[in-house]
Amino acid sequence: MNILVCIKQVPASSNVRVDPVTGVLIRDGADVKMNPYDLFALEMALQLRDCFGGKVDVLTMGPPQAKDVLLEAMYMGADDGMLLTDRRFAGADVVATSYTLSQGATAMGDYDLILCGKQTTDGDTAQVGAEMAEFLGIDHATNVIRIERVTDAGLDVIVNFEQEVYNQTMEFPCLLTVEKDANVPRLPSYKKKKQVDPARVRICTLDDFADQDATHYGLSGSPTSVEKIFPPEKNDDRMKLSGTAAECADQLVALLADRRLI
């Protein structure tokens, strides 16, 4: 089974700073890491390869230093990587990002399965995986927590929509977005770090794509624009119950009942 995993480099800290004047994320000097959701997608792919053989490749879009996130995936066990980097891709919204990734996936090869993290911790839209599948014209399932069964033709997956859990049957080729805690991701290996040849990361620009119309990418290919970015309001509401354990328990039950939580 040949699997492609889409990953993203995101700020390492969850306390992202926003420039109060321009409303733009301050990324200078900030540490970066692999989007935590992508770790679960990558682990799912590596486990499938361990069971059924084949290949796990990784794809990302970003500035040149985003190559590091592909190398990190290779230290975890991925085979080959592709970095989509071009100034003409900059400023992309979810639609342009999904389109660029779909073009990159096609340029990279033929895959039975594409896996994405459910969402990123910086964009948080949870739309890119599904939109990418639409552009590729393949089926997709989101919020996958488990793969139940794998056959030659496809797979059965369990998806969790919080209110309901579905068992979905998918045919290859297809795309899945993987929910947090679907597995315990393996750790990067120092041994692999020493063995990986950085040349196995292919650098790809617009010139390598089938569709070379620059207006389909980046800012000009984005039908939406962000008006303002601001950090969410911090909610510090808290209350302290006091008294004996029994009194506290009574107060807590009364509180929860009052808010119709029980």
Partner 1 sequence: MKYNTMTIEDAKYLASVIAPERVLFGDEVSHDYGHDELGDITRVPDCVVKPLTTEEVAEVMKYANAHLIPVLARGSGSGLVGSAVPVHGGIVMDMTGMNKILELDADNLTVRVQCGVLLMELAQFALDNGFMYPPDPGEKSATIGGNINTNAGGMRAVKYGVTRDYVRALKVVLPTGEIQEFGGKVVKNSSGYSLKDLVVGSEGTLCVVTEATMKLVPKPAHSISLLVPFPSIAEGIGAVPHIVRSGAAPTAIEFMQRDVILNAEEFLGKKFPDSKSEAYILLTFDGETKQGVEAAYEQIAELCLELGAIDVLIMDTDERKDPVWAARSAFLEAIKASTDFMDECDVVVPRSHVAEFIEYTHEVEREVELRIPSFGHAGDGNLHIYLCRDGLNDEVWKQRLEKAFDLLYTRAHALGGFVSGEHGIGYVKRGYLYESVGGIQTELMRGIKRVFDPNGILNPDKVIALEKESEG
Binding site for partner 1 (CB under 8 A): 12, 31, 33-34, 36, 39, 75, 183-191, 193, 245
Q: What tokens does 96 get?
A: 């342009």
**Identity of the residue, 31 or 233, whose beta carbon is nearer to partner 1 in the bound complex:** 31
- DSSP letter at 217? S
- Which of helix, strand or coil describes residue 55? strand
Task: Name 83's bridge partners.
Answer: 60, 203
Decide whether 245 or 261 has the Cβ nearer to partner 1.
Answer: 245
Residues 75-84: b if buried by 16+ CB within 10 A, e if exposed? bbbbbbbbbb
Smallest gap from residue 14 Cβ to partner 1 (A): 9
Measured from the CB atom, the residue of 210 and 245 that comes closer to partner 1 is 245
226 CB-near residues (< 8 Å, 6+ apart):
93
Q: CB 195 → partner 1: shortest distance, Å?
A: 11
**Smallest gap, in angstroms, from Cβ of residue 228 to partner 1?**
28
CB of 31 to partner 1, least distance (A): 8
- For residue 63, say if its preceding peptide bond is cis, omega within 30 degrees of 0: no
Ramachandran angles phi, psi of 10, nearest 5°: -130, 165
Which residue number, 191 or 228, has a Cβ lying nearer to partner 1?
191
